[in-house]
């Protein structure tokens, strides 16, 4: 009997590991798309709080365990299995999407963005259960999050002088956005002028810049996760009100039909970086000469909603199953 229970436990553990790895891949893909946040994917897949608390646990106590030779305790303290599997999935997602996402952005931009809008809006609907939206302070938090996301979406991109120090700082700043739902780390990298450079460094295996960027991400993550974990513990409803607001605000960045006015922009590079404006899908083809792909976009929007509903159903069923098993 004990052997059967042990075998079942191993099977459940493997299933959880595969599921977590797939969530990490989805986060990595999300982080590589301007307008989408890995934090958004973490919220959708119901691991956001656990992710923030696990990152927060990489602290002095973990260091004491490690340097005193208590490696198992250190690993357990930081929820090492969870972080390792998730980080491996994120890295795999980034490597997988470095070329794929560039291709989709170049050739199927409207349907791709409609898919992510479907993800975001359906997630907002589900997340309304995380806070009482009838309370004034929670609505104010939602408006604050919405305002921050919209304000960032209207910032102008800049041209950057690439150096190791600048890449390190960009990593520290972008990772803070990557773990915030509704704020896109990729979009922040565009604003900082290093988005294409980082993707090229990944595909070209420029290890010096890759490790520098990762070091910046690690430092930024350690600092910012402490603030996030405190907010989630002390002000859970306000935090989720703000999260929903940022998710709603990200729709402005994700809008599928964007047009760069050639009479206003100084160059092709400027058009893509500085002068994009959202237009109606019915005027898009006249203004840009490109197919709005409206029908495919609507189908992708529906697919995005279906993915969130399916994931929610899966995780809801798993929670019910786990609670019954514990009883």
For range 307-313, the mean pLDDT: 75
Q: Which helix (H) or strand (E) holds 276?
A: strand 276-278
182 C-beta neighbours (distance < 10 Å), count? 30
Domain boundaries, the chain: 16-257+292-326
pLDDT, tens digit, for every residue of 4-37? 334 334 444 555 678 889 888 888 877 766 656 6
pLDDT, tens digit, for every residue of 127-144? 777 788 788 998 898 998
Q: Over 80: is that where the pLDDT of 52 sits?
A: yes
Q: Global pTM?
A: 0.65
Contact 171, 223 (CB under 8 A): no
Tell which residue, 176, 169, 201, 13, has the closest CA to residue 95.
201
pLDDT, tens digit, for every residue of 240-279? 888 888 878 878 877 888 776 554 444 334 444 445 677 8
* Cα separation, 101 vs 36, whole angstroms: 12
- Please list, in sequence order, all residues whose beta carbon lies within 8 angstroms of the beta carbon of residue 177, skipping any fewer than 6 positions away: 37, 183, 184, 185, 187, 188
The alpha-carbon radius of gyration of the chain (Å, integer) is: 21
Q: Over 70: is that where the pLDDT of 222 sits?
A: yes
């Amino acid at each position: 009997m004990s052997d059967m229970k042990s075998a079942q436990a191993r099977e459940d553990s493997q299933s959880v590991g595969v599921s977590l790895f797939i969530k990490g891949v989805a986060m990595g893909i999300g982080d590589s798309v301007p307008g989408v946040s890995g934090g958004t994917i973490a919220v959708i897949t119901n691991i956001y709080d656990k992710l923030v608390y696990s990152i927060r646990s990489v602290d002095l106590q973990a260091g004491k365990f490690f340097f005193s030779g208590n490696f198992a305790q250190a690993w357990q303290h930081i929820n090492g299995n969870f972080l390792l599997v998730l980080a491996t999935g994120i890295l795999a997602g980034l490597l997988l999407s470095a070329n794929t996402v560039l291709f989709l952005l170049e050739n199927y931009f409207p349907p791709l963005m409609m898919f992510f809008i479907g993800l975001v809006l359906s997630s907002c609907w589900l997340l309304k259960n995380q806070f009482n939206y009838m309370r004034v302070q929670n609505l104010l938090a939602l408006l604050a999050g919405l305002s921050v996301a919209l304000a960032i979406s209207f910032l102008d991109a800049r041209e950057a002088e690439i150096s190791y120090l600048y890449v390190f700082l960009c990593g520290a700043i972008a990772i803070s956005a990557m773990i915030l739902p509704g704020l896109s780390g990729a979009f922040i990298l565009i604003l900082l002028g290093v988005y294409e450079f980082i993707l090229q460094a990944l595909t070209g295996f420029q290890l010096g810049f890759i490790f520098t960027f990762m070091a910046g991400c690690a430092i930024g993550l350690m600092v910012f996760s402490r603030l996030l974990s405190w907010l989630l513990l002390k002000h859970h409803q306000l935090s989720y009100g703000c999260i929903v607001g940022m998710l709603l605000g990200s729709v402005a960045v994700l809008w599928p039909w964007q047009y760069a006015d050639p009479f206003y922009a100084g160059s092709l590079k400027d058009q893509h970086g500085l002068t994009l404006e959202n237009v109606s899908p019915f005027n898009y083809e006249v203004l840009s000469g490109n197919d709005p792909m409206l029908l495919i976009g609507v189908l992708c929007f529906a697919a995005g909603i279906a993915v969130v509903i399916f994931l929610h159903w899966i995780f809801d069923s798993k929670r019910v199953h786990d609670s019954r098993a514990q009883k």
